Amino acid sequence: MNQAATVKIFLVNGDPAGLRTAEIYGWTGKAVAGPRSQLEAILERDESAGPGVYFLTGVNPETGKDRVYIGEAEKVRARIKLHLERDFWKSLVFFVSHDENFTKAHIKYLEGKVINKARDIGRYEVENRNASGTKLPEAEAAYMDDYFRKVEQLLPLLGQEFLKPIRASMPRHRKSELYFCKIKDVEAKGKRTSDGFIVLKGSAAVLQERPSTQKYPYAAQLRQQLIDDGVLVPSEKQLIFEKDYEFSSPSAAASVIHGGQANGLMAWVSADGVSLKHREESEASNK
């Protein structure tokens, strides 16, 4: 679990979407972030002359999905210049150390941890083919594990969520509530999250799509994408979720399950028969 932290973010040009740096008080690391359009100014900074890990993020033009390239370099500035031929990325973030004690082994270890975690979470496509992590002595590994936790904390503040866990977000006073979406002989289970709605592994979706997808193709396109990605696997009578998957909204989730347009606020119902819409209205009126 991440610890409480005081973060200092400096807007170099006063633009919250422009060049900025981020630090955690009492930590030896530092992050530098900015859009590709300001690459020259980013690479002019002294921090880019040393060793570190870097992340190039954007959208894969072929799939429309968020994509990240994760790398390490003994000289960040020189390595980034080699990635100009990659046209998918729009943003750059890199992390360095104030104490200048980073070795090649340190940054390769950190790169490997980030690649593995990003793949496990699955929010972004990870362009790297292999994780090039390396082993460290126990004390050094513990130091870099702590550094990694700080990277996890800072990345979302810099607009990067590829290490953000997918989890249900509910009030602390009660357990995360399960909702059910049923149609014909198909049933799916899911939960609200801070970013949308997550459908749980083992849930099912109808095998055949509704005729309405000819006019409103979003659901059909998303279903095909999930099949291509191995999230949905066809069986004899239905599609099965092979892993948890977070949708942008309850309606997006319900549309995939129903095989066509659906109102997620009404389609998702709790175990005691209360729709998500009525549950949210009740919660809002009690505040």
What SS3 class is residue 100? coil
Cα–Cα distance between 119 and 99 in angstroms, integer? 30
Of all residues in the chain, what percent carry a pLDDT higher than 90? Answer: 62
Q: Phi and psi (nearest 5°) for 183?
A: -155, 125
Question: Would you state the structure tokens that stand for residue 78, as one six-digit string?
Answer: 């020189």
Question: Residue 95: in which H helix or E strand, if any?
Answer: strand 89-97
Cα–Cα distance between 22 and 111 in angstroms, integer? 19
The confidence band for 180, taking pLDDT boundaries of 50, 70 and 90, is very high
Q: Phi and psi (nearest 5°) for 182?
A: -120, 140
Asked if residue 228 lies in contact with residue 214, where contact means CB atoms within 8 angstroms, the answer is: no
Mean pLDDT of the chain: 88
Cα–Cα distance between 189 and 252 in angstroms, integer? 14
Asked if residue 95 lies in contact with residue 53, where contact means CB atoms within 8 angstroms, the answer is: yes
pLDDT in tens, 102-143: 889 999 999 999 999 998 888 898 998 776 668 899 999 999
The confidence band for 284, taking pLDDT boundaries of 50, 70 and 90, is low
* Residue 152: pLDDT over 90: yes
Cα–Cα distance between 67 and 125 in angstroms, integer? 5
Position 122 scores a pLDDT of 85
- Identity of residue 176: S
N-term to C-term CA, the chain: 29
Q: Where are any strands of DSSP class E within 185-276?
A: 186-193, 196-199, 204-206, 232-234, 238-241, 245-247, 269-270
Q: Phi and psi (nearest 5°) for 143?
A: -65, -45
Asked if residue 94 lies in contact with residue 120, where contact means CB atoms within 8 angstroms, the answer is: no
The confidence band for 78, taking pLDDT boundaries of 50, 70 and 90, is very high
Q: What is the pTM of this model?
A: 0.67
Cα–Cα distance between 156 and 127 in angstroms, integer? 20
Lowest mean pLDDT among 126-135, 169-178, 192-201: 169-178
Position 172 scores a pLDDT of 38
pLDDT in tens, 47-68: 999 999 999 999 887 777 889 9
What sign for the dihedral angle of Cα 87, 112, 31, 118? Answer: positive
The confidence band for 174, taking pLDDT boundaries of 50, 70 and 90, is very low
Position 12 scores a pLDDT of 95
